[in-house]
Amino acid sequence: MDFTLSDEQRMIYEYGKSLVKQFDRAYWVEKARQRAFPAEMYQQAADDGFVGMMVDEKYGGAGLGMLEMALLQEGLSNEGIPLLSLIVGATMSMSLISDHGTEEQKQAYLPGACRGDIRFCFAVTEADAGTNTINVTSLTRSVKDKGRYVLNGRKTFITDAECAEYMIVVTRSTPLKEAQRKTDGFTLVLIDTKVAGIEVHPIDISIEVPEDKYTVFFDDVDVGPENIIGEVDRGFEILFESLNPERIIISAVCCGLGRYALNRAVEYANERVVFNGPIGAYQALQHPLARGKTEIEMASLMMRKAAWLFDRGEPCGSESNMAKYASSEAGIYAVDAALQCFGGNGFTKEYGIFDIYPIVRLFRTAPLNSEMVLNYIAERDLGLPRSY
Amino acid sequence: MDFTLSDEQRMIYEYGKSLVKQFDRAYWVEKARQRAFPAEMYQQAADDGFVGMMVDEKYGGAGLGMLEMALLQEGLSNEGIPLLSLIVGATMSMSLISDHGTEEQKQAYLPGACRGDIRFCFAVTEADAGTNTINVTSLTRSVKDKGRYVLNGRKTFITDAECAEYMIVVTRSTPLKEAQRKTDGFTLVLIDTKVAGIEVHPIDISIEVPEDKYTVFFDDVDVGPENIIGEVDRGFEILFESLNPERIIISAVCCGLGRYALNRAVEYANERVVFNGPIGAYQALQHPLARGKTEIEMASLMMRKAAWLFDRGEPCGSESNMAKYASSEAGIYAVDAALQCFGGNGFTKEYGIFDIYPIVRLFRTAPLNSEMVLNYIAERDLGLPRSY
Amino acid sequence: MDFTLSDEQRMIYEYGKSLVKQFDRAYWVEKARQRAFPAEMYQQAADDGFVGMMVDEKYGGAGLGMLEMALLQEGLSNEGIPLLSLIVGATMSMSLISDHGTEEQKQAYLPGACRGDIRFCFAVTEADAGTNTINVTSLTRSVKDKGRYVLNGRKTFITDAECAEYMIVVTRSTPLKEAQRKTDGFTLVLIDTKVAGIEVHPIDISIEVPEDKYTVFFDDVDVGPENIIGEVDRGFEILFESLNPERIIISAVCCGLGRYALNRAVEYANERVVFNGPIGAYQALQHPLARGKTEIEMASLMMRKAAWLFDRGEPCGSESNMAKYASSEAGIYAVDAALQCFGGNGFTKEYGIFDIYPIVRLFRTAPLNSEMVLNYIAERDLGLPRSY
Amino acid sequence: MDFTLSDEQRMIYEYGKSLVKQFDRAYWVEKARQRAFPAEMYQQAADDGFVGMMVDEKYGGAGLGMLEMALLQEGLSNEGIPLLSLIVGATMSMSLISDHGTEEQKQAYLPGACRGDIRFCFAVTEADAGTNTINVTSLTRSVKDKGRYVLNGRKTFITDAECAEYMIVVTRSTPLKEAQRKTDGFTLVLIDTKVAGIEVHPIDISIEVPEDKYTVFFDDVDVGPENIIGEVDRGFEILFESLNPERIIISAVCCGLGRYALNRAVEYANERVVFNGPIGAYQALQHPLARGKTEIEMASLMMRKAAWLFDRGEPCGSESNMAKYASSEAGIYAVDAALQCFGGNGFTKEYGIFDIYPIVRLFRTAPLNSEMVLNYIAERDLGLPRSY
């Protein structure tokens, strides 16, 4: 066993400490209030070579892995400045193109993406997924033009759909009833977000983050072979590969934000005096901080293990799900413990502690809720029967 | 023992069900987004005789007690439309004037308050309370005018300070070092919020409620004997009487909002189908709702017991603190359980479930945090040593 | 509303305080270690008129209700000396006979039971209940003797089966497949535990209580009309009536044992000094005690409400289940919080704190586990779908 | 980073799987009921080279480290057969002698200890430690014999004091008031448990483990230079080195026992059918198992990290304390979740699930309670003020 980071990994993990000097928490919060993409900060990360972290050097990337990407995000989040668009963009979309794109697609999208010139959103979720297969976003053969397709349907909770240049859309190309297995018949489509037939509507969300969420409508959108990632009808297998990375990088955000909140609380509790001496000496405030720290550090270890396994090409489903479950719980616990130290001040915009809460809380529910994560662990890791 | 409500109490408890037809959750949320006082709704409650619930009929009130006031607030909160300004106004301020005001003060303020024409805010909290006695809001004898006083200092987190016509201010009239006991030397001042020397600044808070919070500055504000409630230097005893009512009515809000969230979740979970059958059949979602319900109902019982004791003039400190602790915890738990049922939708403004959370969460921290509440129970109820 | 106990109820609640002078915790623990029925203590309670609490005065009882029975048990448990055999005996069996027995049965069993001369056990649970209907304890018409029946089968976890004189057995008299509804076809049989064909085997249990548990085997036991309680095939309705009382009285045990443990811990924490001053001043120990106290008092309120409703003949399923759930959780929490104050000493037989734990923990699981209790609340109180 | 075990480490970790074929859980439980040292099992482990794991090969050991010792214990505990005497013996005492003994001491004790011929107990705890320095076990210069010492005092909760051949005793050789720092003036004494002046009395404990606990009395016990480990008055520094190993190996026990309980529960829940299908399909039972698994695996990672750091000679206080805290909590949670699956059966000696609980629960309290562990993390890791 070896629990040390390499020098390069440590440098990546600590990148947040230098980036925060340029783009601090106040910058991030301001962008979040405006619901404006943190373009300058993103561009700086791209310029510093971090957006293309997982892309082959041949296409302008750093040729590193999931562990490095997770360390980057964890380090940024430690400073209170997570780059949430790295989740669906640099981690998920760019890896899909790297691993399953054609040479043309790689050359078309990856160098620009690594430079920060183009960004991706990722459209999976549908409002009634699983129940109303008729409305599932569908990809059908075009009647007008042989060899082309038509995309119709609707996706929801799509992060960055307005500002991203491209979108990867998970579609059903063979109806459920004609598919042999439920997971057959999916196709991934990479499409320009500005083409005819796409409309996006912002969703008004009770969480202030710079990255906004949208409902996306597809109305007879033209799709050609150049827009297909991988093979037609084989999209599920490809999609599946990106689920563990998504869980891993979300874990990194939760661990980092939890640490950020704890650090803020420790500073405050060491200074704030109400009765005798600093409030940090009261066990009722102190012990939850210590427990929060413990849970964050353990979740972080599990997250790194999952990333490390992923990079080795080994199964990492259990570890990724455990990390996602534990990190969101640890993040929630840590932010709440921090908040309680600040008293009423924690709820003000001036101190901004409560404002960290909705983000970590969201990750108990999205993109996959903790109940589904526990179902996974119960079935796949423990060997219990399916419960739903 | 008798656990039934009288017919009148039941009618009061169910008032929310009729008021919500006129002023529904959407009205409340809209006011909250605008940070605008829900004036029409408040006026309706006053017209229906509920604002003056605890005021003697002689002064235009209903001559009822704390239990009825709590039932009113619980019933409103059950519908998602708590009238938070009833806490510091109708429950605390009006009771103080009723119990300790002069006949002139009662006639001057109570009938108008019962009609809804005038409202009160209540200024207790200071930013560095207990540590920096020099800055405590102080009441000193006026050098210019014998028999009058001068008010200086600063209060923070004062609800409704802008829109209320009057303010009750807790001041120190004898410096701590000259007081025999720490609780000596306080005086309550009832003052017009628009007089010279008072300035209010809104505090930007991460919680959307119609009732806003302010920092209030007092700069040589003129205070005469007509502004003093009770006796000079004896304000602490008076203030102390309003602490249990405050905890009781906050409990009522938490129980009610918890029930509101649970009811919304039950409806949703009975309808929403993702895999097989409604999601309400999954124990991972269902059991937290059932546990939340149980905790709400128990906290509500304790809250009602505390109010009932208060109305009988019996000690109710343990019960009020237990109710406050348990209700805020139960409310938090219930809202969170409800939120988890809604998935990502719960975080949208359209469904508005997450938006209930900050209010119940605030009550774990304010006006007295749960740690201080547990200190009270430990010392006063269990007989353990002081921990702080 | 009225939260006071009547003078008689208060006297009953405080009976434990006098009984404990004769039969103290050490007596109880000694009986528990020996797995010996606490006969002298039981007899004293009978002599003092408490065993027949719920039996009509005409048959030697006190003619009181469930609330008084629960207060008795709560008061005994407050002192660490619960009389667990009152659960299946005085509360469940004697009430069944009172409410559904023939005049002959009442005269035959109740006066002796009130005097403490005869006791009952109650046989419901089967090892594979619900799944293997063939082995359910069955009551079939005797081929030898018209009008008589034959009892065959096996029951498990039957408290006091060895030392009780009589047993009430829940049997299936009409096979499941012939019954219109699943709940049809049950019959309650009251039978001498020493008749031919009954064998009892103790179950080795990891919980030290005076009342032992047994597996009971029935092998062609002769049953006549004189042994049937209520009507043949209508036993379920009768049995159903005793479920809420069972949950209520178990709640009383949990609340009382929780209080007993807390009181012990408060005494210890006020005296024990390790660093500076008594350990009771440390919030990490103190706050869990305060929280435990709060949860116990709330659960106790709910339990009393359930008993009060039961005595009025009103529906009390929600309240009884909530009380059972909350009391067992509160008892577990309180005992654990107490234990932590005692450090290593808490695990010694000398201090005996850990030894309280298995009993309250058992009541999370038995006689109905908390999961089934939550199912009940979810379905019946909240209106959610059945989850199992 | 590298999360893989070496082949040798994996073999050590899996040793439990082969040892359990000879000495299974039933053997362990039987020894525990008899409070008899599991001598045959211990001897087998010694024969297989595992007792001397951390001892230099020169003295008959395997020359491995803390990580290997922890893996051994974790693997044994996974099978339900922890060798608890390895904690104070092979891990703590033998390492102290290895690291601080004279050459004579090493040769005298280590080879025999590695062979399993002699065992050690470790006497630290005193009943009133920290408060009554007069009764602290003291080592004073002998008046009779220059150069020798006299040992007086009393230790409590000393595991294996009766059956171990030798005892390491932590004594105060310079009174607290004469010491410059509180931690000065301690001396470690290694002494034959059978010498004149030592008396041991078993403590009756509510936890069934093979290793018993004792109070040990020292009455003018003769101590010579040959009995001193390290330097006189410098014992604290030496003792301090063994605290992290103790926390690490206790973590290993908790992780392993938690896994053992979960595995038993998974088997049972996959087979047991009550309503429709196996009970393992109910989320109310399944999700706690999945959460327990997650917490165990995370705690295990932290424990391994702590051991790995220890073996590298790096600071591991935070990691060891986090591992101890988290492992005991995870073990408690996992055993409880397992227990709930078994229903009433879990409380029987036949199934023996509840019987696992007291051991993991003890480790929340002993040898250092979780409150002190959180104090450590708060102060040393987070930099908060001392709270006690």
ipTM, two decimals, is 0.96
Are D95 and D59 spatial neighbours (Cβ–Cβ below 8 Å)?
A: no
Type and span of the H or E element at A239: helix A235-241
Cα(C54)–Cα(C68) distance, integer angstroms? 8
Q: Are B154 and B217 in contact (CB under 8 A)?
A: yes
* D54 contact partners, CB below 8 Å, separation of at least 6: D61, D62, D64, D65, D66, D68, D69, D90, D91, D94, D95, D98
What average pLDDT score do residues C38-56 get? 98
Instruction: Answer whether D348 touches C (CB < 8 Å).
Output: yes
Name the pLDDT band for B343 (thresholds 50, 70, 90): very high
Cross-chain Cβ contact D349/C374 below 8 Å: no
Is B54:B65 a contact under the CB 8 Å cutoff?
yes
Element (H, E) at A201: strand A198-202
| Residue-level pLDDT at D134 | 60
Give the pLDDT confidence score for residue D102 in this predicted structure. 98
**CA–CA distance, C337 with C290 (Å, rounded to integer):** 9
Pick among D354, D374, D376 to test the C interface (most C CBs inside 10 A): D354
Give tens-digit pLDDT for B125-138. 998 765 555 668 99
Ranges of beta strands (E only) in C224-281 are 228-229
Domain B121-233: give its CATH superfamily.
Answer: Butyryl-CoA Dehydrogenase, subunit A, domain 2 (2.40.110.10)
- Which of A135-149, B70-84, B330-344 is least confident? A135-149
How many residues in chain B?
388
Query: What per-residue confidence (pLDDT) applies to B12?
Result: 98
- Record: contact C203-D348, CB cut-off 8 A: yes
C377/B298 touch (CB, cutoff 8 Å), yes or no: no
pLDDT by residue for chain D (388 residues), tens only, comes to 999 999 999 999 999 999 999 999 999 999 999 999 999 999 999 999 999 999 999 999 999 999 999 999 999 999 999 999 999 999 999 999 999 999 999 999 999 999 999 999 999 999 876 555 566 899 999 998 889 999 999 999 999 999 999 999 999 999 988 989 988 999 999 999 999 999 999 999 999 999 999 999 999 999 999 999 999 999 999 999 999 999 999 999 999 999 999 999 999 999 999 888 999 999 999 999 999 999 999 999 999 999 999 999 999 999 999 999 999 999 999 999 999 999 999 999 999 999 999 999 999 999 999 999 999 999 999 999 999 9
Closest partner residue to A384 (CB to CB) among D9, D270, D326 is D270
| Strand positions, DSSP E, chain C | 120-123, 138-141, 149-159, 166-172, 186-192, 198-202, 213-223, 228-229
C246 to chain D, closest Cα gap in Å: 17
Residue A285 clears pLDDT 80, i.e. is over it: yes
What per-residue confidence (pLDDT) applies to A135?
Answer: 66
Q: Is A287's CB within 8 Å of C282's CB?
A: no
Collapsing DSSP to helix, strand or coil, C319 comes out as helix
Spatial neighbors of C109 by CB under 8 A, at least 6 apart, are: C94, C97, C101, C118, C120, C166, C190
Q: Between chains, do B294 and C378 touch, taking CB under 8 Å as contact? A: no
A382/D325 touch (CB, cutoff 8 Å), yes or no: no
Q: Residue D135: exposed, middle, or buried by beta-carbon count in 10 A (0-12, 13-18, 19+)?
A: middle
pLDDT at A129 (0 to 100): 60
Residue C78 burial class via C-beta count within 10 angstroms: exposed 0-12, middle 13-18, buried 19 and up: buried
Q: What are the extents of the domains in chain C?
A: 7-118, 121-231, 242-381
Per-residue pLDDT at C131 exceeds 80: no
DSSP H helical ranges for chain B: 7-13, 15-22, 25-34, 39-47, 66-78, 85-86, 94-100, 103-115, 235-241, 243-271, 283-311, 317-342, 357-365, 370-376
The angle subtended at Cα D221 by Cα D128 and Cα D85, nearest 5°, is 65
The whole-angstrom distance between C211's CA and the closest CA on chain D is 14
DSSP symbol at C145:
S
Q: Which of A283, A286, A289 to mutate to test the interface with C (most CBs of C within 10 A)?
A: A283
User: Which backbone phi and psi does D169 adopt, to 5 degrees?
Assistant: -115, 130
Task: With a cut of 80, say whether residue A204 has pLDDT above it.
Answer: yes
Q: How far is D283 from chain B (nearest CA, A)?
A: 6
CATH-assigned architecture of domain A121-232: Beta Barrel (2.40)
d(CA A274, CA A342): 12
Q: Tell me, yes or no, if C362 comes closer than 8 A to chain D by beta carbon.
A: yes
Q: How far apart are CA D255 and CA A160, in angstroms?
A: 42
Closest residue to C369, CB basis, from D131, D343, D371: D343
Hey, are the CB atoms on C284 and A282 less than 8 Å from each other?
Answer: no
Residue A259 and residue A264: Cα distance in Å, rounded? 9
Q: Within an 8 Å CB–CB cutoff, is residue D281 touching chain B?
A: no
Within a 10 A sphere around the Cβ of A226, how many other Cβ atoms? Answer: 12
Sign of CA dihedral C185, C180, C371, D360: positive
B173-214: pLDDT as tens digits: 999 889 899 889 999 999 999 999 999 999 999 999 999 999
CA dihedral D132, D133, D136, D138 (to 10 degrees): -160
pLDDT surpassing 90 at residue A197? yes
DSSP bridge partners of C202: C214
φ and ψ at residue C97, rounded to 5 degrees: -65, -45
Reported as type and span, the H/E element at residue A151 is: strand A149-159
B272 Cα to chain D: minimum distance (Å): 18
**Nearest CB to A301 within list D9, D282, D298:** D298
For C177-213, how does the pLDDT look when each residue is reduced to its tens digit (9 = 90+)?
898 998 899 999 999 999 999 999 999 999 999 999 9
| Domain spanning C121-231: CATH 2.40.110.10 | yes
| pLDDT at residue number A127 | 87
Would you state the pLDDT for residue B134?
60
- Length of chain D equals 388
Asked if the C-beta of C1 comes within 8 angstroms of chain A's C-beta atoms, the answer is no
Nearest Cβ partner for D349 among C204, C346, C350 = C204
Percent of chain A clearing pLDDT 70 (strictly above): 98
Angle at A238 (CA atoms; ends A235, A239), nearest 5 degrees: 85
Question: Averaged over B32-52, what is the pLDDT?
Answer: 97
CB-based contact B387 C5, cutoff 8 Å: no
CATH 1.20.140.10 fits A242-381, yes or no: yes
Q: How, if at all, do strands A166-172 and A120-123 pair? A: parallel
What span, in angstroms and rounded, lies between the C-alpha atoms of A138 and D205?
A: 67
* Model pTM score: 0.97
Q: Are D341 and D268 in contact (CB under 8 A)?
A: yes
User: Which residue of chain A has the CA closest to D262?
Assistant: A382
Contact yes or no for D158/D215 (Cβ under 8 A): yes
B7-118: CATH, from 3.40.50.10210, 1.10.540.10, 3.10.20.30, 3.30.300.10: 1.10.540.10
**Measured between CA atoms, how close is D270 to chain A, in angstroms?**
6
Chain A residue numbers with beta carbons less than 8 Å from the beta carbon of D2 are 1-2, 308
Any CB–CB contact under 8 A between A282 and chain C? Answer: yes
Mutation target among C354, C360, C387 for the D interface, most CBs of D within 10 A:
C354
* Chain D residues close to B283, C-beta within 8 Å: 282-284, 287
Q: A282 to chain C: nearest residue by CA?
A: C283
| Residues D176/D126, Cβ–Cβ less than 8 Å | no
d(CA B356, CA A234): 43
